[in-house]
Amino acid sequence: MTEWKTICRVEDIPVLGSRRVSRPQGMDVAVFRNSEDKVFALLDRCPHKGGPLSQGIVFGTSVACPLHNWKIGLCDGQASAPDEGCTPQFACKVDAGEVFLDAAELATLAIDLLAPRAGPGASTGAVGDQAVAVQAPHSD
């Protein structure tokens, strides 16, 4: 049976905006509210290059990433075509105006995904980012 963790009240989330939920391990979860007061939860990490979806603009049932404007579906975390990628989606529910997230998912889901690193040559761990093996120099 799902153990639900109380997060906040719906009105604590800005309309067409979000609120971040920190976790003991892993990246924050972004909890979004749309114009119809529906609430959604995604990992706060764009599938493109790790942008903070919590800083994006909500429209309909999507959020526009603030970095390169990819459109991410709030129901499933999928990027809209032609872009490809998916960010983890968290189960959430609203009961009597209170927002709840699945406690088990908060503790375990996507805790291995890293925040993007800044700076030249930084890897984001995003789709398309791959570690490159560096060969040892030749010796004669």
Instruction: State the residues that interact with ligand FES by CB under 6 A.
Output: 46, 48-51, 65, 67-68, 70
Which residues lie below 8 Å from residue 43, measured CB to CB, with a gap of 6+? Answer: 27, 28, 29, 30, 53, 77, 87, 88, 89, 90, 109, 110, 113
Sheet containing strand 17-21, edge to edge, reads 17-21, 29-33, 39-43, 89-90
Least CB distance to ligand FES at residue 118 (A):
13
Closest separation between CB of residue 54 and ligand FES, Å?
Answer: 12
Give alpha helix (H) positions in the chain.
Answer: 103-108
Nearer to ligand FES, 104 or 122 (CB): 122
Closest approach, Cβ 60 to ligand FES, in A, equals 17
Q: Which CB atom, from 7 or from 27, has the smaller least distance to ligand FES?
A: 27
| Complex with ligand FES: residue 7 or 65, whichever CB lies closer | 65
Which amino acid type is present at position 25? Q
- Give the separation between CA 7 and CA 57, rounded to whole angstroms: 21
For ligand FES, the closer of residues 28 and 98 by Cβ is: 28
Provide, rounded to whole angstroms, the least separation between the CB of residue 53 and ligand FES.
7
Minimal CA–CA distance to 6: which of 111, 95, 110?
95
